[in-house]
Amino acid sequence: MASNHKLVCARAARQQFRGAFQQAVRDYRLAKLSASTLKGLDAFLPDGLSFLPLSYLYDGEVARFAWEGAVTKENRDACDRQTNFRVMARTRPLQEQEVDSKLYESLSSEGGNHSIIVHDGRVHRDGRTIYTNHSRFCLDRVFPQDASNPQVFEEAAEPLLNFALQGGRSTLIFFGQTGTGKTYTARGVLDDVTKKVFLQTAEVEMCCYEMAGTRGGREAFFDLLADRAQVKCLTGEDGNVHVRGARRVKCQNAGELHQAIEAAFSWRSSECTERNEASSRSHCILELHLACEDENGLLRVVDLAGSERNFETQMHSKSMAERGGLINYSLLMLKECARVMHNQVKGAREKEIHVPFRSSRLTHLLRSSFTDKYHMTTVVATLSPSPTDVEHSLNTLQHVGMMRSARAWEMQDTEAMAAMEDAISEAKTAKGFDAVQGRGRALHSKLQDARKGQLDLHAFQMKTQVGGSIIKKYEGESAKLETFIDARWHRELKVKVQEDLWVLRDADMEATQVLSDWRKEQWTASKAHDLHRWDAQTLQSFLKSLDLPGEVRIPSTMTGSQLRRLGPRGLAALCGDVATAQVLQAALLGERQADQVATAAHRSQNARMTALGNHKVHAAVDEAVFEEAPF
Ligand SMILES: Nc1ncnc2c1ncn2[C@@H]1O[C@H](COP(=O)(O)OP(=O)(O)OP(=O)(O)O)[C@@H](O)[C@H]1O
């Protein structure tokens, strides 16, 4: 092969020796073609005989690799894979300047478009030999270069849209190197979503925000529909992380939605870089809340900023470099989460490893997309076919591969799909105090924050009001570890308190908001049976709900307290006959009793919550529960 002992950079080598590398790619593709033909004869010939011609014709390694790739188990598995988490890849065509530089294509797809091969041209350590590594990645779908945006929509986004239209939560994530077509694909897909969504729903609420850096160099979310006002990322009552305070635009037809999307993208931070004339400098998250029968469905489209390497950021200004640093950090954390989840599945599943979702706001927000089996997620990895970008392509594919394998357990989890329907309907019907269970995480954080000064306490376990339990441990060097186990979801959250201060501050805000919302709900519930607080409308609907035997002449402007002041005689005077008066009296008495019960329950729950907040566990827990709790 060609030699040049001065040359050690693979990127430069791929350009300089493109003829040799191109030949290697051609050889591989031919070997692949021959392997597919010979595989057909495999059934008629003795074992191993069909492989022989291939091994004579091509280099040993290449022949073996092409043979394995012809019909591998992974490819078959990829075709049959039925999970809520899918990973796809889209390669953009070579750009004009790349064609001008006579660059060849370093990616090929095979296995019925379920796997992608990266042809990685390299220089040997001796600086004289060049060789090509072929790496195969099996995915759920590989889009050919000539695939159009509607095709991507049909396979990647339409199932997510349909799921959201049934009340589910779904996320489409675009992930990859800068300048590979994330925004191009996201915009194309959103155009198709805009056209299709109104065929099945009458109203869509849209919000759009981006994650970028603040002046102080911290990650923050900015509302793209409200002049980039800063918004907060908090845990909601369903246990998922949401951005709070973002403006929601109601759209009733495709034109309005299209306009809102255009407006949001016009506010998105983008700059001209070496690799892309309009490179996104933030992670953009667009949410469509779809009106369904019982509960709103959610479709989230996440267009991540592109990953960059040092040689691509030489011309960046200081502020661009700072923002780039934050983007790279959040992407790094996303990859780290993928790596940890992958290791967890690959290694000992019985040993829970902490996945650092809270280390970046991006991963915090996307956590449920990766961990919740009832959340439908598709990750589209965008790739550049240029041989100068092979490192990027390998990196992207390795990480999306890890994300995919991290959810491999779902394939065995045959009940998952059936249980999904149940879970959705369960979530829809959950009411009152039950609904607080999903807020356990926030309550836990609040408690954790309130007690951070009490390191003298050794260890204890307690049942919480929300049906979970908290185990607190104090370990060496005063590092405090808390484990919250939510009884309903069986999730575990371990927080090393002294490590991340912003986690605590956020957790406190979350808990405060969640608890005040809950209190408000309790307050509204406690009012429901209180006649004093009924307005005229509530009184009229109460009367309508009663099956009164005769007529009652209560003026339409009369409120609950006015009715109460009438007394039994006044009430009887308004009723057409005695029987009607008696039924009405009995119904009002029933309401009064229900009011007394609700007020007593409200008072007790309030007192227990306060006691829990003040660390008076004994006062806060029901005696029966308290006895059961193992200390
Ligand atoms: N599949 C495709 N077909 C044709 N052109 C494409 C395709 N994908 C991307 N491009 C072109 O490549 C260029 C870069 O695309 P885009 O801005 O979407 O990249 P990006 O991945 O979002 O980059 P960044 O991360 O820097 O924002 C654009 O000019 C776009 O038109």
ipTM (interface predicted TM): 0.96
Q: Beta strand 375-383 with 169-176: parallel, antiparallel or unpaired?
A: parallel
The pLDDT, as a whole number, for residue 471 is: 44
Spell out a b/e string for 402-421, using b for 16 or more CB atoms within 10 Å of the CB, else e: bbbbbbbebeeeeebeeebe
Give the closest residue (by CA) to ligand 1 atom 8: 181
Decide if pLDDT at 301 tops 90.
yes
pLDDT band at 458 (very low <50, low <70, confident <90, very high): very low
The pLDDT, as a whole number, for residue 527 is: 73
pLDDT band at 65 (very low <50, low <70, confident <90, very high): confident
The pLDDT, as a whole number, for residue 227 is: 83
The pLDDT, as a whole number, for residue 108 is: 85
pLDDT, average across residues 96-123: 81
The pLDDT, as a whole number, for residue 73 is: 56
The pLDDT, as a whole number, for residue 7 is: 45
Which segments within 435-491 are labelled E, that is strand? 459-463, 469-474, 480-485
Distance (Å) from CA 380 to ligand 1 centroid: 14
Range among 252-266, 283-297, 424-438 rated most confident: 252-266
The pLDDT, as a whole number, for residue 184 is: 92
Ligand 1 atom closest to the Cα of residue 304 is 25
Q: What percent of the chain has pLDDT over 70?
A: 65
306 in ligand 1 pocket by Cβ < 6 Å? Answer: yes
Decide if pLDDT at 311 tops 70.
no
Task: Report the distance separating Cα 115 and Cα 224, nearest Å.
Answer: 37
Task: Report the distance separating Cα 296 and Cα 195, nearest Å.
Answer: 19
pLDDT digits (tens, 9 = 90+) for 588-615: 888 888 888 887 777 777 666 665 555 4
Among residues 464, 445, 471, 452, which one has the least CA distance to residue 235?
445
pLDDT digits (tens, 9 = 90+) for 352-400: 677 888 888 888 888 888 888 788 899 999 999 988 888 889 889 988 8
276 in ligand 1 pocket by Cβ < 6 Å? Answer: yes
183 annotated as ligand-binding: yes
Decide if pLDDT at 260 tops 80.
yes
Indicate the average pLDDT of the chain. Answer: 73
Q: Which of 184, 210, 304 to mutate to test the pocket of ligand 1 (most atoms within 8 A of CB)?
A: 184
The pLDDT, as a whole number, for residue 492 is: 40
Q: Which of 276, 309, 392 to mutate to test the pocket of ligand 1 (most atoms within 8 A of CB)?
A: 276
180 annotated as ligand-binding: yes
Question: Token pair of 594, please?
Answer: 């229900």
Decide if pLDDT at 264 tops 70.
yes
382 in ligand 1 pocket by Cβ < 6 Å? Answer: yes
pLDDT digits (tens, 9 = 90+) for 505-534: 555 556 566 666 766 777 777 778 888 788
Distance (Å) from CA 181 to ligand 1 centroid: 3
Helix (H) or strand (E) holding 270: strand 270-271
Number of other residues whose CB lies within 10 A of the CB of residue 443: 27
Distance (Å) from CA 182 to ligand 1 centroid: 6
Decide if pLDDT at 92 tops 80.
yes
The pLDDT, as a whole number, for residue 438 is: 42
The pLDDT, as a whole number, for residue 302 is: 94
526 in ligand 1 pocket by Cβ < 6 Å? Answer: no
Q: Classify 468 as helix, strand or coil.
A: coil
69 annotated as ligand-binding: no
The pLDDT, as a whole number, for residue 432 is: 33
pLDDT band at 470 (very low <50, low <70, confident <90, very high): very low
pLDDT band at 478 (very low <50, low <70, confident <90, very high): very low
Range among 15-19, 118-122, 490-494 rated most confident: 118-122
Distance (Å) from CA 274 to ligand 1 centroid: 13
DSSP string across 184-195: HHHHHHHHHHHH
Q: Which of 90, 91, 92 to mutate to test the pocket of ligand 1 (most atoms within 8 A of CB)?
A: 92
The pLDDT, as a whole number, for residue 494 is: 43
385 in ligand 1 pocket by Cβ < 6 Å? Answer: no
184 in ligand 1 pocket by Cβ < 6 Å? Answer: yes
Sheet containing 459-463, strands listed edge to edge, beginning at the edge strand earlier in sequence? 459-463, 469-474, 480-485, 492-496
The pLDDT, as a whole number, for residue 121 is: 81
The pLDDT, as a whole number, for residue 316 is: 58
The pLDDT, as a whole number, for residue 515 is: 63
Decide if pLDDT at 174 tops 90.
yes
Distance (Å) from CA 97 to ligand 1 centroid: 14
